[in-house]
Structure 1
């Protein structure tokens, strides 16, 4: 027995002595191959967001280029649009529901998979920051309605009238017919979703919206739903969505795209597959818009939509670019 134990231990030690230099050699060869075989190096830091929100992406880039982390970058980036009264799809100035109330949805997700969200919250301008407080200061992921609003006050957020005169007058005009017929790339252009990779290679994401104009009171779309409107896996990448949220929820779209990237698809191919899954479930109905964007761990990006007109912004050391998205339909 002692001899067998000695031989077994000797074999293990010998194997380990051999494997250590071999492993080191293999790692060094892998590094050398990566640097010499023409593959693109990782792009970091980088930010990507839905639509041509150039001020938002510029703000996020300011955080990243100064060495800030990706979570701060996406929060500060989307807050620009939440505060812009001329943006009637996010934050202050957002179009109200059928009863004239502006309700906001938002979620945020960090490199460790921590996440927070608020749903159908009124009277608070920066829903993304409240979502971050939910993530960091509570044992929960989501707070809704009056509960979310009360929590925001407890965290020091101020009460704000979100309904601007412009949005109010448009709502009063809409009430004359009360016809609910969202216009592609206008009322469906309802969300800013943002993904960022910082200098350390860590990924975070944020998504915020006032939702569909003149929606039923209490309606919540995909934007604050982790896995639907936003999903981040720091080992793989992240994805976010815009458009008719109900259809994104039905396919758990952002989670699907990240999982497709896990299986080896590029961000572009994954976004295309995400849209095609939605089309497959709506073969006789294509009068709505969906847009996905995605980023992988290397900083490669992609975007795809149903109808032409969707664009997405990228900002890195390679430049600040508004990218027209390819679409499933071409007219």
Structure 2
């Protein structure tokens, strides 16, 4: 028996097995961390007021800027729009006459920041980003959030503008809280409807930059004439917004309580991780809400919007009427009608 040949064969087999194992390990690592899709920036956001917000975000993206900067600058447009009674300074107050704002932001590294029940600061999204970048925390609320904002250079502002105060006083006559679905999709440039005709809601924005990185932002004044102290899904990471740079991002709009119960935006991203398209993931998230509370789901609106790592996007809502704005190198002012379950 030739001992040298036997040892050589054994060494060859051993090295082959080790090599195959190494290759398999590298392949698995590569599969779990897909390469960035470069050169195809895109931004999407909820409702028709997302068009103007997207245009501002596009200024950043088209200059090869970071998605995080784009979403912050984009949603600030909605926060500053006094004709928008569902976001920022123009937002309707709670039932006690206080305008309270909620916002969150999340970047490509999984960093996130949030503020809730913030008063007297016109741009909660920028405070949320500062929470993310300057504190060890994710969320600050109420007086603590206001104190933090003032300590970091923000100025107090009276958020209860005359038109909002007038609508609130009209509502006080009957104190009838009955949200109207999809009121966000109406033009805000005309005279406001009285009393309880405005309900909520959010601008949620997702962006993919030229470097292939994702970020998202979400900001709202919450439901009109809500209970004092109520906070919805918008500032809650995983509910109103979630971003995973390996997979995609999602945001929500509508009645936040139902989104919180399903951790909706996180659910959408995890479904995309399993291979669902953005639209299919949003539809499944909507169906989860129906499964939990079928009768409630028929009376409310909830919509999800998603963007994956490849720049593919989609949405789904409970009711008809939901729309989202799309902006890329080909089109900067496109409004898309979202698909829905109920007629």
Tell me if TM exceeds 0.5. yes
Is the contact between residue 43 and residue 300 of structure 1 (CA under 8 Å) also seen in structure 2?
no
- Among candidates 75, 92, 95, match of residue 95 of structure 1: 92
Gaps of 5+ in 1: 27-40
- Among candidates 228, 252, 261, match of residue 241 of structure 1: 252
Which residue does 1:71 correspond to in 2? 68
Number of residues paired by the alignment?
A: 314
Structure 1 segments (4+ residues) deviating >3 Å: 3-24
In structure 2, C-alpha distance between the alignment counterparts of 1:47 and 1:168, rounded to whole Å: 34
Q: Does 1:128 align with 2:146?
A: no
- Among candidates 80, 85, 100, match of residue 83 of structure 1: 80
Alpha carbons of structure 1 residues 275 and 8: separation in structure 2 relative to 1, 3 Å:
same
Alpha carbons of structure 1 residues 245 and 19: separation in structure 2 relative to 1, 3 Å:
closer
Which residue does 1:56 correspond to in 2? 53
Q: Does 1:223 align with 2:219?
A: no
Is the contact between residue 188 and residue 243 of structure 1 (CA under 8 Å) also seen in structure 2?
no
In structure 2, C-alpha distance between the alignment counterparts of 1:85 and 1:8, rounded to whole Å: 78
In structure 1, C-alpha distance between the alignment counterparts of 2:215 and 2:145, rounded to whole Å: 22
In structure 2, C-alpha distance between the alignment counterparts of 1:329 and 1:203, rounded to whole Å: 31
- Among candidates 95, 106, 129, match of residue 109 of structure 1: 106
Q: Does 1:309 align with 2:329?
A: no
Alpha carbons of structure 1 residues 264 and 8: separation in structure 2 relative to 1, 3 Å:
same
Which residue does 1:199 correspond to in 2? 210
Cα deviation code 1:223-272 (max 9, x no counterpart)? 00000000000000000000000000000000000000000000000000
Alpha carbons of structure 1 residues 122 and 15: separation in structure 2 relative to 1, 3 Å:
same
Cα deviation code 1:123-174 (max 9, x no counterpart)? 0000000000000000000000000000000110010111110000000000
Cα deviation code 1:93-151 (max 9, x no counterpart)? 10000110000000000001100000000000000000000000000000000000000
Displacement of 1:318: 2.9
Q: Does 1:295 align with 2:295?
A: no
Deviates more, 1:233-242 or 1:10-19: 10-19
Which residue does 2:32 correspond to in 1? none
Cα deviation code 1:191-236 (max 9, x no counterpart)? 0000000001100000000000000010000000000000000000
Displacement of 1:44: 1.8
In structure 1, C-alpha distance between the alignment counterparts of 2:340 and 2:53, rounded to whole Å: 24
Is the contact between residue 42 and residue 299 of structure 1 (CA under 8 Å) also seen in structure 2?
no
Gaps of 5+ in 2: 28-36, 184-197
